[in-house]
Structure 1
Amino acid sequence: METAFQALVADQAETFSLAVQRLETGDLSAGEVLIRVQYSGVNYKDGLASVPNSTIVKAYPFIPGIDLAGEVVSSEDNRYKQGDAVLVTGYGLGVTHFGGFSEYARVPADWIVPIPEGLTAREAMILGTAGFTAALSVQALEQSGIVPERGTVLVTGATGGVGSSAVAMLARLGYHVAASTGKPDESGFLHSLGAAEVLSRTDVYDPEAKQRPLDKQRWQAAVDPVGGPQLASILSKIAYGGAVAVSGLTGGAAVPVTVMPFILRGVSLLGIDSVECPAELRRRVWSRLGTDLKPAEPEKLVDREIGLSELPQALSDIRNAKMRGRTLVRL
């Protein structure tokens, strides 16, 4: 028996539309597990999937949303049973497969992560893909030998989802965090998350200044979800043996860097992928998100909580950098 529900649907027939529609479970993408979605979150990629002629979406009509958390309704896979609390991020969710902006979702069993002890479904989506990416970044820095005693860790794009999560996680672990932002009026927010200092965007990268292959060593490491020319500037300022975990390209895909930081200071550039991350690593990191990587006060990351009808405006806001922290979607 099919169940009726509501979802945000992007369609591009004669004209583009983005609106809440009534669907039935038979309309969902294929998969072994049917989930009643309780929460989702708004990510930059969701914003890109919600515009005409999107480069993210390949076929219409489509349900965006690269995050979801909820409970299993039915499962054809014996790893999951009715009532299990689960989450899904990455893979094709919200890109090639109907996503989380929906009261129900059907997904492949291999994509699912049980919500770990220490997290509710709400907290899992306060973190979502952004928090998971931040956690992968922090763990990668740890594995490169970055420890609190070595000095300051820079976080760029610090008011965004990845950046704000990284600030909170690093602060909980005892790191001295320098948070960089282009929004000076948000310094109070960043200090409340645990940032020891707040830097302007031009403190990190001044496009009008001459860029040096090697500059004064300022930070032992950085979490950078921005990329672009700013990343080259950061690499020139990382201390000997330091590392930068990069996970985004909102600042651009091209990085005008030389080999100098790598061969003269032994700096490591660590690429962070949260989409095709192996299942074993994915579960291990989510387990840490319920323990030592869980922000001390997750609710401080929440900018707003919205319903499906408010999503179009929220998706526009994230594309235009009018958000801080996380926007939680209550299904």
Structure 2
Amino acid sequence: MESSCHEDEMEEEEQWTAVLPRIKCSPKSAPALRTKENKSNCQLPHRISEEVMQGIEMFEQGQYSQAVDRFTEAIHCDPKDHRFYGNRSYCYWCLEQYSSALADAQKSIQLAPNWPKGYFRKGSALMGLKRYSEAEKAMEQVLKLDQDCKEASSKLLTSRVLQLMELGFEERQSKVLLEKFTTVQAVIAASEAQGKRKLKCRSLWVGNITFEVTEKDLVDLFKTFGEIESIKVLYERYCAFINFKNANMAAKALVKLQGVELGNSKLVMRYPDRWMQQTLPSTERTSAAGTQQSSAVPGFRRRAPVNGDECYYWRTTGCFYGDKCRFKHIPEQYGRDKKLCQP
């Protein structure tokens, strides 16, 4: 059903078959004179159908690059069919070519502004690019068009959790706070109102620092956001601490430089663990015995791989390291182990 977004990303047979063009060369519209040009035009719908069928088969076999080629041919035959762009966007997403996936998703939206899957593809691509606040808006649009789309609800929650994690919240704590306050903005506002999170930290923890990155490289990158008082690089821990003159400078750098490439690695940033433990709001839950327990606020820890060599975060909320991660990112396993926040 084209208008709905019942889209578990592993159930592709139903989803992809639904977008096949049911086009036939109608005898009523056929020209009286069968010229060479007219004959070619009459065969065009059949060619499109063949390209799409081949694209589906290749996708199901995991041949995503070849599937891209087939949907590209279909687009050349009919550049106004939004479904072909949506299909090719998904192929690019499986290849982790998120910029191309985003471009195709935006094209499908341009052609069909009320098609939920177009916004779902856009949101998925934005999450791959780690543009989580934009992904959140895309998933919200999906739900405006199809409020029953469970996959969009799931990714909407994930995009919000990842935004809070970028600010230094621990994953479990992020889910508890979102369960209570719903949006990222509401979580931050509530924390500030309680006086427990004033965002007055002048320091940033920067991860993914390799030996290729020098102190001068860090100074040149971060000084555009304000005066730097000191920098401490800990190569043995693959991280560095940047201390700005004031908190506003640190806050801007945190937002603008998250995921920026430096020394062939994508930087990961948050406020230092010690500051986070002192300032983040505690989350309390009532146990079965009726006693209240405060959750700890540990720093972001790298979890052990799953199934031997699969990335834990790829299978849950998304991996900050992208294609630089030393563990496997299997496209069809993305988000497989993600647990929704229970009401």
Same fold (TM over 0.5): no
Give the TM-score of the pair, scaled to structure 2: 0.28
Report which of the two has the higher share of strand. Answer: 1
Instruction: Tell which has more relative contact order, 1 or 2 (C-alpha 8 A, sep 6+).
Output: 1
Give the TM-score of the pair, scaled to structure 1: 0.28
Larger-Rg structure: 2
